[in-house]
Structure 1
């Protein structure tokens, strides 16, 4: 039975296929050694290709959505920046008006605008001259250098080469 591409049964279908594959190998041990026969059996006797097609379609849909959302986020961030600049321009103009009028406070129906004292802020003139106790230094592991040392056979305390695994490749035509 073929289900629509947007169904919620993919995990169950994968589990069912895994169980079916195990049963097929138990019933027909020759499938273990003959990759071509196994591929033909999987295609002809199961919905293996249909499930894989649905999975690829779901993966492609999720990828497209992620890219669209990333684009939208980029657009919204640019819009946010413009709005923030506009806000600062409006605040600057209000400040100029109140200073020019010589009025420190103006109550309006929408808001009360006032000019107040601002706390002094620290200005860094030359970072190189700052004493160590007022400078933050962050460290991060150099994974490439660590990998190079480990591959060369050098012991690196606190690091090891992880297990090599398998990775999926999906090439869309």
Structure 2
């Protein structure tokens, strides 16, 4: 029994040493700090999981409910970009309907592009110059590229789309590049 008392006396004397008190104090503070950090980290992880879950549910809803419309819209924009006289054969109402659908199903960048394109189209005919047509083609290729990114998550370069569509692209590549960069800054 005496040996137990001597062990407790020894421990008591040990804990009275300033260095041991400093180490224990620092250890306790570190433990409390790590518990608080872990708690906050777990809370943040749960918030991220919840937000990701909401995003996935919204994406699944759009794909399930509007999958066919989205697919048709992607095909329409690919034809708009790649077929020379596709848009000119469409009525204003049909074009407006496709722009509305693109607004509904498109991502943020796509919506910004459509908005800027519509503003571009409001330029009165008497104030339009040669650059108006170049910019229109650039907008259409950028919207088509953005729609493809929205629906397939695949990136396509608008300049490559223009090169595919236009036989004289090489002579206008610099002009198109500048216009695309200007549009990127605008949106």
Q: TM-score, normalised by structure 2?
A: 0.31
Structure 1 or 2: larger helix share?
2
Higher RCO (C-alpha 8 Å, min separation 6): 2
